[in-house]
């Protein structure tokens, strides 16, 4: 990592992804600093730095002498569209500016979403496909990606699909979201376990994904019907044709070519090994 230092700053450490990634980074002997708002605790082995991505002045000390920034902080499921854009775009811009000023050689890794591709794509979403986000969250992430690409920093963007595991409750909450969104039960959805977010992030920290946008997913997109049944719920079948089969399915060929191999290859493996 940039020669010697393993000092990294992680944002969003209290979120579903950050809370599960941070202990793994500590176990891998990274010197972890966590950007937290006042009063928030951090795991053992992590140094807390009080700050907020919306408070640009608070980021100066946070980024000094870091060799990498892992930017996970984001707002997702909320009706407050202004907050989504403030945190996900303005907050990212603030962090970019701080890194450019105080740690210009640092590696900047942005966690993004695979929900940026055209819903009617004729194939699984690829990194070189046009992005056509339909909702504020992915739209804000696309804008943040663009800001990072244009920053002049050493950047990488990891686009994650549906994230689950390690007791996050995300998969268990899936049925209500699928019903509300009226997804076809035969639609296949790409997934990634928290353990392999770490697998991908460790590669990115080592430079394997520099200057790239990379889809990260496991090896077996699974139907909505199967996922709902795996968590003990039921879903009605449908005789209607599946009109947009690739909507939730991402192509992970680039990541594979860079050496990424998920350790939790399928949701069924996670179920069998009690990794939910």
Q: What is the pLDDT of residue 3?
A: 42
- For the stretch 214-229, pLDDT in tens is 999 999 999 999 999 9
- For the stretch 44-58, pLDDT in tens is 999 999 999 999 999
pLDDT-based confidence at residue 147 (cuts at 50, 70, 90): very high
> SS3 sequence, the chain?
CCCCCCEEEEECCCCCCHHHHHHHHHHCCCEEEEEECCCCCCCCCEEEEECCCCCHHHHHHHHCCCCEEEECCCCCCCCCHHHHHHHHHHHHHHHHHHHHHHCCCCEEEEEEECCCECCCCCCCECCCCCECCCCHHHHHHHHHHHHHHCCCCEEEEEEECEEECCCCCCCCCHHHHHHHHCCCCCCEECEEEHHHHHHHHHHHHCCCCCCCEEECCCCCCEEHHHHHHHCCCCCCCCCCCCCCCCCCCECCHHHHHCCCCCCCCCHHHHHHCCCC
Residue 139 lies in a domain: yes
**Residue 182, Ramachandran bin (φ over 0: left; ψ between -120 and 50: alpha; else beta):** left
Q: What share of the chain in percent tops pLDDT 90?
A: 92
Q: Which residue range is the domain that position 67 belongs to?
A: 7-165+191-218+251-263
Residue 78 lies in a domain: yes
Residue 272 lies in a domain: no
Q: What is the pLDDT of residue 229?
A: 95
State the average pLDDT over residues 65-70: 98
Residue 142 lies in a domain: yes
State the average pLDDT over residues 87-104: 99
Q: How many domains is the chain built from?
A: 1
For residue 180, pLDDT over 90 is answered with no
Residue 147 lies in a domain: yes
Residue 82 lies in a domain: yes
Residue 101 lies in a domain: yes
- Mean residue pLDDT of the chain comes to 96
pTM of the model: 0.96
Residue 182 lies in a domain: no
pLDDT-based confidence at residue 166 (cuts at 50, 70, 90): very high
For residue 4, pLDDT over 80 is answered with no
Integer Cα distance of 257 and 261 in angstroms: 10
- 129: CATH: 3.40.50.720
- For the stretch 254-275, pLDDT in tens is 999 999 999 999 999 999 999 9
């Amino acid at each position: 990592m940039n020669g010697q230092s393993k000092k990294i700053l992680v944002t969003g450490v209290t979120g579903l992804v950050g809370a599960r990634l941070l202990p793994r980074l500590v176990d891998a002997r990274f010197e972890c600093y966590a950007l937290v708002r006042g009063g928030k605790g951090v795991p053992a082995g992590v140094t807390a730095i009080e700050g907020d991505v919306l408070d640009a002045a608070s980021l100066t000390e946070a980024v000094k002498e870091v060799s990498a920034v892992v930017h996970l902080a984001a707002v997702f499921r909320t009706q407050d569209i202004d907050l989504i854009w403030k945190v996900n775009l303005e907050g990212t811009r603030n962090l970019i500016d701080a890194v450019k000023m105080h740690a210009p050689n640092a590696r900047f890794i942005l966690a993004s979403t695979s929900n940026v591709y055209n819903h009617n794509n004729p194939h699984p979403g690829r990194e070189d496909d046009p992005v056509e986000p339909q909702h504020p969250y992915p739209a804000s992430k696309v804008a943040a990606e663009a800001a990072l690409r244009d920053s002049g920093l050493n950047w990488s963007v990891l686009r994650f699909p549906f994230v689950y595991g390690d007791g996050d409750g995300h998969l268990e909450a899936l049925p209500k979201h699928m019903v509300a969104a009226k997804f076809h039960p035969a639609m296949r959805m790409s997934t990634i376990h928290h353990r392999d977010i770490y697998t991908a992030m460790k590669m990115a920290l080592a430079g394997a994904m520099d200057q790239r946008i990379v889809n990260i997913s496991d090896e077996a997109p699974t139907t909505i019907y199967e996922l709902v049944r795996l968590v003990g719920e039921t879903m009605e079948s449908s005789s209607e044709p599946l009109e947009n089969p690739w909507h939730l399915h991402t192509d992970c060929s680039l990541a594979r070519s860079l050496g990424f191999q998920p350790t939790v290859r399928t949701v069924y493996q996670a179920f069998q090994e009690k990794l939910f």
